[in-house]
């Protein structure tokens, strides 16, 4: 095997599939990266049991061939090469590959290429194409609300629901719920649960420079995603997603409008007084007719209080939240003002943009004494 490729393109391709290489692979061969050179193309593959990724770049291939190289070591080398190109050379009987870039010259031991599994394929029964702008919006507004607890896999995924020419993404960790709906055309009705880690990888591979379509191929519990030369194969999450519509109260007694940046800033500053060393900082919010008082206290740190203006319909109300949950939604509301809808101090609270945008965020208050 002998080929040469651009260092920058190789580095991008390696970075795009490294997330598929587990820190502690289920079997040693999955700690390797599969590289295949043939007919002017260099294909890189990484995989483990539940996730596979591949990417393809152009190169000058003198002799076709394939190798498996330790992925972490290879990644470190490629990121630090200072030459414009990298030349790969492997003789038939060698168990190492020679890498030359600039003045650097390495010989790196290889893994057994015969042990590397075939890259999975999905002969799709269903497929859908979503424009870059729409998929980025759907992911950004929902995936952050998912759980990271692998003991509850159902809540580590985002529900993707297509019905009546509308696509809805729903993310929840049971303490908060984010729902974003967009209009689509010519898509068949369907409902699947996509791992949030998969959606975040999709988002990372959308460069925003040129509009790109994202194609989803679905067969049974398998999902393949394709963005230009990058592909991802993953299992879908199996199980019945909870009826998220039941969590949304049918009506609210109190509605207040508040400036997004002012509320986010006040909550962020007050969370510093909570004394918590983890992500669970509690802030108390007292909503009046024309002002909101944001408060926090801790016997180890002290107390804090900040007042910001608002416009409220309904009776004054006190409520407390996990500060991170409020700051997260404020980052994802793009209007100047947000609406907060409440019934009482312990019932689910709805936060949404002050527009007709189909975006709803439900958060459960925390029980505290004011």
**What is the 3-state secondary structure of the chain?**
CEEEEEHHHHHHHHHHHHHHCCCCCCCHHHHEEEEEEECCEEEEEEECCCEEEEEEEECEEEECEEEEEEHHHHHHHHHHCCCCEEEEECCCCCCEEEEEECCEEEEEEEECHHHCCCCCCCCCCEEEEEEHHHHHHHHHHHHHHCCCCCCCHHHHEEEEEEECCEEEEEEECCCEEEEEEEECCCCCCEEEEEEHHHHHHHHHCCCCCCCCEEEEEEECCEEEEEECCEEEEEECCCCCCCCHHHHCCCCCCEEEEEEHHHHHHHHHHHHCCCCCCCCCCEEEEEECCCEEEEEEEECCCEEEEEEEEEEEECCCEEEEEEHHHHHHHHHCCCCCEEEEEECCCCCCEEEEECCCCCEEEEECCCCCCC
Task: Please say if the pLDDT value at position 193 is more than 70.
Answer: yes
| pLDDT-based confidence at residue 197 (cuts at 50, 70, 90) | very high
Task: Please say if the pLDDT value at position 7 is more than 90.
Answer: yes
What backbone torsions phi and psi does residue 263 show, to the nearest 5 degrees? -70, -45
pLDDT of residue 279: 57
| pLDDT-based confidence at residue 178 (cuts at 50, 70, 90) | very high
Give the least confident one: 102-111, 291-300, 315-324: 291-300
202-245 tens-digit pLDDT:
999 987 677 789 999 998 889 999 999 999 999 999 999 999 99
Q: CA dist 94 to 66, 75, 87, 112, Å?
A: 13, 21, 16, 11
What is d(CA 322, CA 307) in angstroms, rounded to the nearest whole number? 18
What value does the mean pLDDT of the chain take? Answer: 93
Torsion of the alpha carbons at 22, 28, 32 and 35, rounded to the nearest 10: -130
pLDDT of residue 159: 98
Query: Can you give the pTM of this predicted structure?
Result: 0.91
Question: Which among 276, 275, 307, 313 has a CA at the least distance from the CA of 291?
Answer: 307
Give the least confident one: 66-70, 91-95, 231-235: 91-95
């Amino acid at each position: 095997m002998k080929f040469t490729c651009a260092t920058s393109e190789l580095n991008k391709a390696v970075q795009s599939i490294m997330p598929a290489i587990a820190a502690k692979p289920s079997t040693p061969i999955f700690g390797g990266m599969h590289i295949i050179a043939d007919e002017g193309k260099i294909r890189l593959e990484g995989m483990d049991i539940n996730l596979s990724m591949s990417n393809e770049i152009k190169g000058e291939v003198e002799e076709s061939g394939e190798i498996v190289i330790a992925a972490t070591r290879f990644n470190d080398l490629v990121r630090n090469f200072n030459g414009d190109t990298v030349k790969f050379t492997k003789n038939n009987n060698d168990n190492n590959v020679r890498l030359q870039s600039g003045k650097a010259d390495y010989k790196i031991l290889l893994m057994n290429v015969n042990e590397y599994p075939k890259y999975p394929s999905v002969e799709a029964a269903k497929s859908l194409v979503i424009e870059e702008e729409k998929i980025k919006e759907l992911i950004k507004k929902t995936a952050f609300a998912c759980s990271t607890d692998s003991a509850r896999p159902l809540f580590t995924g985002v529900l993707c629901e297509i019905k009546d020419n509308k696509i809805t993404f729903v993310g929840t960790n049971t303490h908060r719920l984010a729902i974003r709906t967009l209009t689509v055309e010519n898509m068949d009705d369907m409902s699947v649960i996509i791992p949030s880690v998969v959606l975040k990888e999709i988002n990372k591979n959308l460069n925003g420079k040129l509009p790109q379509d994202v194609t989803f191929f679905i067969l049974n519990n398998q999902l393949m995603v394709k963005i230009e030369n990058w592909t991802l194969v993953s299992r879908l999450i199996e199980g019945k997603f909870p009826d998220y519509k039941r969590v949304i109260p049918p009506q609210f007694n109190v509605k207040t409008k508040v400036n997004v940046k002012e509320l986010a800033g006040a909550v962020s500053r007050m969370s510093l007084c909570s004394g918590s060393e983890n992500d669970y900082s509690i802030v108390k919010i007292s909503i009046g007719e024309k002002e909101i008082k944001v408060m926090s206290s801790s016997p180890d740190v002290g107390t804090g209080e900040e007042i910001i203006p608002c416009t409220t319909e309904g009776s004054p109300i006190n409520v407390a939240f996990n500060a991170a949950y409020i700051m997260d939604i404020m980052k994802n509301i793009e209007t100047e003002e947000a609406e907060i809808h409440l019934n009482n101090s312990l019932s689910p609270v709805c936060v949404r943009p002050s527009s007709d945008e189909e975006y709803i965020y439900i958060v459960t208050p925390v029980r505290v004494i004011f």
